[in-house]
Structure formats: C-alpha cells, structure tokens
C-alpha cells in the first residue's frame, strides 16, 4: 500500500484532472471550478450543471480516459562512506514477551506476547491483524527454532523433516497487537514491521527470568542450558547460590 497505493493515488489524481478538463469544456467553466464526486461532475455551487462521468466521456468523444502515476523514492547509501538515505520510509514497532524457562532442560516457551505497530492509516483491518499474527509466528520461529545447520559446508537440515519451524503448539496462548493510526491518512507498510521486536523481546524475557544472556539465534534449549550451567558454576566458585527461578 505504501508504494503501489501511492502510485495508484497519483494515477487517480491525474485521471480526475483530465475529467475536469473535459467537463470544463462541456460546461463552459474553468477546470478548477469543476467538482468530481460520486460518479458525476458539476460546476461548484451549480447542481443544475450536473453530468455523469459516462456523459462527459461520451459527449467528449475521447474514447477511454487514462490516468498515470509513478512513485519514485529517494534513497541509497554511498558504498564507500556509508552516508546517505538508508530508507525512504521508516516503520516503527514495539513488542513485549512473557516466557517460562525450564531450568532442568533449558526449554523456553512464550506465554504471552503484546506488540504495537504504527500503521498510519489502516486500509484492511482484518488483513492488518492477520499480517501481524503471521509476523509473530515468523518471529517465534526465528527466536526459538529456525537454524541452518552445516557440516563441512553441507546443509544438513534442508527439508522440513529436519528444519525446525513453530507449530500452533509453540505459539503463545495470549497475544495481541495495537495498530496505531495518526488520522493524517498516511499509509505505512505493514508487511513485516511487527517481526523485528519478537526475538529481542523473547531474549530479554529469558534474561530477566534466568540471568542468561543468549547472543545468537535461535535461543535453543542447549544454549540456555549451557548458560544456566555456566551461571551455576560461576556462582559456586564465588560461594553463591544457583540461578534464580524464572519470572
């Protein structure tokens, strides 16, 4: 919507301008004085001059009326200096996760997730909600399961029989997204903005629960268990207790 929708908007504006021009000749008025609304045109403030769009096109003998619009964004980084415009548009989102960690196995389960995305203006509410839900599934997979494993340069989990993806059983029982609008009519992308916060939110929750900071994805049970054992060993060497219970 942010790209193709804007191009369509520009094309529509071009089309309306052409219709105004055709109607102005028929109604003997200036194009700026022509109103286009609900399939009709008229001179502003003169309802008696009303014509349908079909009448405008037919009486003008122009065949089809075409409108065109092209959206070109500015951007690009200098490959040598790294300076420039990194993106033509930025999309803001946040996320918070609550997790449970099994201290005996290192297994992490996401219990609840809450996210928010700055949507600008929502065009398709149902589609927007579903897109965010898809981002959550994708994000849980990135955070906890999905990993390409290589052995001497050969991929060892090249099929879904071995490559771990989340199932419905792995999704949080409670989740929700707040799609924030600003009322200005600006369209923001909703393709994947809800995705980036998922893994950091899960990683931070694991750290808050166990004291283990995992620095690479996925946050597998093995990595968490190694971290728990390292914490316990460090605490034992220092005379303290083991890691605290998860919160």
pTM over 0.75: yes
| Gyration radius from the chain CA atoms | 28
Distance separating alpha carbons of residues 103 and 225, to the nearest angstrom: 7
pLDDT in tens for each of the 247 residues of the chain? 888 888 999 999 999 999 999 999 999 999 999 999 889 999 999 989 999 999 999 999 988 999 999 998 888 899 999 999 888 878 899 999 999 999 999 999 999 999 999 988 898 999 999 999 999 999 999 999 999 999 999 999 999 999 999 999 999 999 999 999 988 878 888 889 999 999 999 999 999 999 999 999 999 999 999 999 999 898 887 655 444 444 4
Q: Does 3.20.20.80 match the CATH number of domain 93-237?
A: no
Structural domain boundaries of the chain?
4-60, 93-237
d(CA 161, CA 149): 13
Long-range contacts of 85-94 (CB under 8 A, 24+ apart): 89/2, 89/188, 89/189, 91/117, 91/118, 91/188, 91/189, 91/193, 92/117, 92/118, 92/193, 93/117, 93/118, 93/193, 93/194, 93/196, 93/197, 94/197
């Amino acid at each position: 919507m942010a790209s193709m929708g804007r191009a369509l908007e520009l094309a529509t504006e071009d089309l309306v301008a052409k219709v105004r021009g055709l109607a102005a000749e028929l109604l003997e008025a200036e194009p700026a004085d022509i109103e286009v609304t609900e399939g009709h045109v008229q001179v502003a403030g003169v309802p008696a001059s009303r014509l349908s769009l079909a009448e405008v096109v037919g009486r003008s003998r122009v065949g089809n009326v075409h409108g065109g619009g092209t959206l070109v964004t500015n951007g690009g980084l200098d490959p040598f200096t790294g300076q420039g415009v990194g993106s033509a548009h930025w999309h803001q989102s946040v996320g918070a996760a609550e997790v449970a960690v099994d201290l005996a196995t290192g297994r992490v389960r996401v219990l609840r997730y809450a996210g928010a995305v700055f949507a600008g203006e929502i065009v398709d509410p149902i589609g927007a909600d579903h897109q965010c839900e898809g981002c959550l599934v994708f994000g849980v997979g990135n955070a906890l399961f999905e990993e390409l494993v290589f052995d001497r340069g050969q991929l060892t989990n090249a099929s879904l029989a071995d490559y771990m993806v989340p199932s419905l059983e792995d999704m949080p029982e409670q989740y929700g997204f707040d799609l924030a609008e600003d009322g200005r009519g600006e369209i923001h992308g909703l393709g994947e903005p809800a995705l980036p916060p998922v893994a950091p939110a899960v990683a931070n929750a694991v750290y808050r629960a166990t004291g283990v900071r995992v620095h690479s994805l996925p946050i597998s049970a093995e990595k968490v268990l190694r971290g728990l054992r390292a914490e316990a060993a460090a605490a034992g060497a220092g005379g303290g207790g083991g890691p605290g219970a998860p919160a």
